[in-house]
Amino acid sequence: MHKRGMSFVEVIVAAAVLVLVFGGLFASFQLMTSLIGKSKVSAGALALANQQMEAIRALTYNDVGTIGGIPDGAIPETSTTTLNGITYVKRVLVAYVDSPDDGEGAADENGIVADYKVVKVTYSWDYKGVSDSISLISNIVPQGIETTAGGGTIVVNVFNATVGPVSDAAVRIYNDTGTTTIDTTRYTNAEGKAIISGAPALANYQITVTKTGYSTDGTYVATAENPNPTTPPVAVLASQTSTMNFQIDALSDLKVRTVGEPVVDTFDDTFTDSTKIASQVSTEVVGGALVLTGGPAYVSSGSVQSMTVTPSTFASWDTATFTLTTPANTAATIQVYGVSGGVTTLIPGSDLAGNSTGFTAGTISLVTLDPVTYPALALGASLTTSDASSTPSILDWHVGYVVSEPPIAGEDVILTGSKTIGTDSSSNPVYKYQETNVTNASGEITLTGLEWDVYDVVLNASSYDIKEACSAIPYALDPSVSETLTLTLAADAARTLRVSVVDTAGNAVAGATVALTRPALSESDTTSGCGQVFFNNSLPSASDYQVDVSATGFTSEIVTGVSITDDVTLAVVLTAS
């Protein structure tokens, strides 16, 4: 009988089946080998941890503590061990515990809050690029009555910028004035609290509090530069509690720019026709104004939106201005919209204060709008009337933007925070942060890892004055932000006055009229989008200047007895009328 062999196709199919079968078996073998290896490493760590814990249990109660820790004892806080080719890192934490059985804190029956000790032994390792760890925890109870052996308790509360608790903050306790040097770190709980019981009764406990990505706070040792620290090291008394409070929060970045006079351009519509209107409902252009349709029997409401303002290149937005007429029983409201990808969206009040309800008068400052987030804008308006014989009117509206700002390089900029850490020998404040940096060829300084604070900014030995600071200085830097401070410079003058006008919420008031007067002198100007004006026209040295500030929708303010003998900055707060 003739037997036919396997065809070439059948051979290929059979080979593929074999590859799939044995490939799966090989993958399963690899996984099994990996799991066995991982289990072996974990078992080794567990054996080491059990061995260490048994050694700790064999110690006397007074010896259960870490070397240089609180409580102090005979156990190294960290060490490394190699077993079966794996390097394990051991960390031992020993802490006193206040048992609720005899009352906690001030309610403790015998006044000793260190009732027993808790020991945590952790072994961590890396295996094939993966980190892992195990921990064992055990309570160590004294044979007799509990004692802190003459020690006291340190309680550290850690808050953020808004006085909320900060958990997992590292609290380092250091003291080298005793028989052994104490250097231990604890971490705050969910309430932002770290309690270190059993601290030996000593003076000069140094405390440093920080967290990854956060600022640092703590005590300060007296030095030649800071002989009178505001928060010196703390003392611990036997059977007493020393409580310390500190504040830390997420770090921020700040870019400082020094530039010359900006080049500004505007979008303008004076309503001579409808060519700059993108859409409108029940409104029309009549006689150089936009009004409701249907006159002389006008409709009750209507709306309009401008064409999109899309600068080809620009540095920042500046202001939006408009002129309205609103006879009795009529109203008109202006709002600003962001345009991206052909979609028009109302800019939220969190990005543009007041925009959610709209504007009825004055100048709108657009400087807070990020040009990356808002590369194009449009103006919109709502018009209403309850009197059919009368209509509100929009006579014009405008959007201004900064096209370019020439950089000024090589400027020494001194940044000084308002937080102090003490006073010097002449009782002058010692600031926590004070640095001088030089602007690069692009007129920029990039500062990373800054603490939240209110910073003063001045030029050092410059041939320029600060004409405008946007935003105003002193500059309030919040936690966890990345912001830009632009300093517009002008030629140095002997005496200058920079006036910053803000509302009660701290928002810049653009378009405010600021008048500067004294005998034989009268000058006035209008605040920019950053809410500032600058006077530098040969001002005589005097202390009898008067500054009058007025803005639509606000109560006017008058400041008398202004002294101008050098470069002066004046902040004026306007209250809505």
Q: Which CATH superfamily does the domain covering 152-250 fall into? A: Carboxypeptidase-like, regulatory domain (2.60.40.1120)
Predicted pLDDT at 486: 96
What count of other Cβ atoms lies within 10 Å of the Cβ of residue 341? 5
Q: How would residue 98 be classed by pLDDT, with cut points 50, 70 and 90?
A: confident
Predicted pLDDT at 20: 64
List the 542-550 sheet strands across, edge first.
521-526, 513-518, 542-550, 557-564
Q: How would residue 534 be classed by pLDDT, with cut points 50, 70 and 90?
A: very high
Give the fold, CATH level 3, of 412-576.
Immunoglobulin-like (2.60.40)
Q: How would residue 113 be classed by pLDDT, with cut points 50, 70 and 90?
A: low
Q: How would residue 19 be classed by pLDDT, with cut points 50, 70 and 90?
A: low
Structure tokens at 236: 């611990």
Burial 138-150 (b: 16+ CB within 10 A, else e): eebeeeeebbbee
Domains 152-250 and 412-576 in one fold: yes
Per the prediction, the chain carries an average pLDDT of 90
Cis omega (within 30 of 0) for bond into 392: no
- Least trusted range by pLDDT, from 7-11, 323-327, 362-366, 457-461: 7-11
- Least trusted range by pLDDT, from 126-135, 394-403, 457-466: 126-135
Q: How would residue 1 be classed by pLDDT, with cut points 50, 70 and 90?
A: very low
Q: How would residue 233 be classed by pLDDT, with cut points 50, 70 and 90?
A: very high
**Residue 30, C-beta contacts closer than 8 angstroms, at least 6 positions apart:** none
Task: Give the CATH number of domain 265-396.
Answer: 2.60.120
Higher pLDDT, 361 or 275: 275
pTM for the structure as a whole: 0.78
- Taking Cα atoms as reference points, which of 42, 194, 237, 74 lies closest to residue 140? 74
**pLDDT exceeds cutoff 50 at 145:** no
**pLDDT exceeds cutoff 90 at 248:** yes
Domain positions in the chain: 45-103+114-142, 152-250, 265-396, 412-576
Q: How would residue 110 be classed by pLDDT, with cut points 50, 70 and 90?
A: very low
For the residues 338-358, what does the mean pLDDT come to? 94
Model pLDDT for residues 475-521, shown as the tens digit of each residue: 999 999 999 999 999 999 999 999 999 999 999 999 999 999 999 99
For the residues 31-39, what does the mean pLDDT come to? 64
Task: Report d(CA 400, CA 364) in Å as an integer.
Answer: 10
